[in-house]
Amino acid sequence: MTNSASMSVQRLQKVIARVLHRIVELAARLLFSIVYYGSRETVPPIKNMLLLESASSLAFKIRTKKVTSVEVVESFIARINEVNPLINSFVDNRFDAALEEARSADELIASGSKSEATLAKEKPFLGVPFTTKECLQSEGLSFSAGLYARRNIKGTKDADAVACMKKAGAILLGVTNVSELAMWWESHNYVHGRSRNPYNASRIVGGSSGGEGAILASGASPIGIGSDIGGSIRMPSFFNGIFGHKPSKFIVSNEGQFPLPTVEDHASFLGLGPMSRYACDLLPTLKVIADKNVSKLKLDTPVDMKKIKVFYAEDDGGSLCVSPVDPDIKASLRNVISYLEQAHGIKAQKVSLNLLRLSGPLWFARMKSASGSRFAQELSNNEGNFNVFWELVKWLLCTTHHTLIALFTVVMEGFGAEYGSPKHQHLVEKSNQLQKQFNDMLGDDGIFLYPTHPTPAPFHNEPLIKPFNFSYAGIFNIMGFPATHIPLGLGSEGLPIGIQAVGTYGNDHLTIAMAVELEKTFGGWVAPAVSV
């Protein structure tokens, strides 16, 4: 067979595979639509106007005595108790301790021992409540990472990022739900159950920071901390209509996360970052949790929007087994491009990067390690042997304590390019090429606008039919780039949509500035109904 004939056959095979995948997706969507027909509950309307304030605004009002920390903390505790029976996102609390810390914050402010300016500098979030995902260690709170074998484990100290927030005066309310071992994009496990989307309870909240995304979107927390190794901050932010920022690699300490990557490359893919309803809270929170590494960024550098170069792509070019981008998402991206030209004279350049089609394979290749399977060991809590096939039998008998996707993940670890093989080395080289293309294209003054995810929040369990859709977000983890999810309102299904802004290493200030700019025009987070 000639080379041209062989290529024609390959193209035909890809077309057939794409068509079959689309048919399966559409059939699954029809089935899930029938299963969840009529199940579209939303969280109750917000009645307390304090819940609509940004974390930065609350901090200012607390230290200037316009409102007390106790009032604020009580308001968010009440909201958690109101919405959590529906969304099941908040899994362990320290309400009594939080109220005691709120009283201490009010006493410090009332004493006048420190000026407002001093408090703003030393404790920028004094008296402001926050939440964090359950797989980030918090002293005295659940620290299972959704793994049944760890169901009774409590944190003995605070993760570095949590400790930084507390040092800044913020008050931890509790922890939120995650996927099993934080390695899937639906937050469901056999310790805390399944979390539900506040805009439509039949839809997912994303993962692994899904509980965090849902509790924030519900108006039950003003600021949160998530982690992201394959989109785990940005996808939940997208599905729940809030802002989320994955920082440049190694900026925020990963210490206290479980499971913690043991391979240096993998550790560089994992990024802890802020999640919030308002763009104005991203930068001050990043300053706090970056701690000593904040000097590696340019967060205080003013950004002139007119001088930013903007590049964009509406999709990945047609990856196999990845859903087509929803028309609402494409339309919102086009609206952004149009706005930037009209408001700032930015002539955004549409680009086609062929290697984006390989986003999924590139991510999986870079996640391979010389030590082989790690996920199976983690599922056993690093104790004894883990027999995945026996656990699959137990799943069929409804006696396993592991989610189906976790078991599939163990099975799939044995497939794909073997570490160090020619195919693996080829994919690693391709990922390096793609990173160079982005560095050359963006430089230090460019931003890439791109869908965060191809579809709005799917039904529960539907991600099993669309496992590779995470690749839109995950590809930027293996490059170590900063990426900010920007909500752009609700789509035709009444579900949040949005895009992500990506920059090169160290240019977090550009992607956050874009988030702040677009929030002004497109509205950002859309609150559930407000009752006045």
So which residues are the catalytic ones? 133, 208, 232
| Residue among 54, 137, 65 nearest 106 (CA) | 65
The secondary structure of 454-493 as a DSSP string is SSSPPBTTGGGT-GGGGHHHHTTTTTT--EEEEEEEE-TT
Which residues neighbour 406 within 8 Å (Cβ) at sequence distance 6 or greater? 180, 181, 183, 184, 375, 379
Distance CA 383, CA 377 (A): 7
Distance CA 176, CA 198 (A): 14
In whole angstroms, what separates CA 86 from the centre of its chain? Answer: 21
Distance CA 308, CA 349 (A): 12
The edge-to-edge listing of strands for the beta sheet with 483-490 is 90-93, 171-176, 129-133, 223-228, 271-276, 243-246, 483-490, 496-502, 446-451, 309-312, 349-350
Q: Which residues in 465-495 are b (16+ Cβ under 10 Å) and which e?
A: bbbbbbbbbbbbbbbbbbbbbbbbbbbebeb
- Rg of the chain (C-alpha set): 22
With beta carbons less than 8 A apart as the criterion, state whether 46 and 219 touch.
Answer: yes
Q: How far apart are the first and last CA of the chain?
A: 73
| Residue among 115, 376, 101, 359 nearest 231 (CA) | 359
Distance CA 216, CA 173 (A): 12
| Residue among 76, 137, 499 nearest 315 (CA) | 499
Strands 243-246 and 90-93: unpaired
Q: What share of the chain is helix, strand, coil (3-state, %, to 5)?
A: 45, 15, 40
Distance CA 83, CA 234 (A): 22
- Locate 362 and state its tokens: 């590139």
Distance CA 299, CA 47 (A): 35
